[in-house]
Copies of this chain bind each other. A is one copy, B any other.
């Protein structure tokens, strides 16, 4: 009984261990979220994350090599959460899909101000940290592809005018980025609604251009 063999565990209980590892990982990610909200990203230590975690700091280092590895994995975790939310929404109509996507990106699933500040701090570290920058690029590329695909579906369905989906996706994401930056930096609460209205105007003038009555 006391001579359990690590290799046996690996093979016989592989699936159970994997599930447990997934649970541990989820718990680490949730602890990271709470630590980012409490301490920000600029000087966040693994110890501060461990303090939010009911297991030991060594378990964190069992899963992640370093603070950088943990935080870039956290960015990947945010992308997975985003994918899961989109997959769960079951909407197939491109107009409603695009509308929901814009709202979700602009207003966010999470209006926790401390978290938004921490994410801006992490962004400001990206130029020095290739792991963060690479993951921010992956997240952006995914959101961009998804937005362009929804626009493309709408064009195929004949509900959107034949625009360049990549160009419109870039434009939308740039406006959303700018609005969220102003919200966090200047504390300007009105910017999200103004930007939403501006996006609607822009889409009316392009995606729905052929449906509009001419002036």
Contacts and interface: CB of A to CB of B under 8 A. Distances in A.
Q: What are the nearest 5 A-B pairs in CB distance?
A: A178-B178, A177-B178, A174-B178, A120-B124, A123-B185
B127 A181 contact: no
B174 A123 contact: no
A136 B174 contact: no
B181 A181 contact: yes
B167 A173 contact: no
A176 to B, nearest CB: 7
A153 interface: no
Interface of A: 42, 113, 117, 120-121, 123-124, 126-128, 133, 136-137, 140, 167, 170-171, 173-179, 181-182, 184-187, 191, 194-195, 198, 202, 205, 214-215
A48 B181 CA distance: 28
A117 B124 contact: yes
Given A133-B187, A174-B175, A174-B198, 14 more contacts: A42-B42, A117-B127, A120-B123, A121-B124, A124-B185, A127-B184, A127-B185, A133-B185, A137-B186, A167-B198, A170-B191, A174-B194, A177-B182, A181-B181
B194 A167 contact: yes
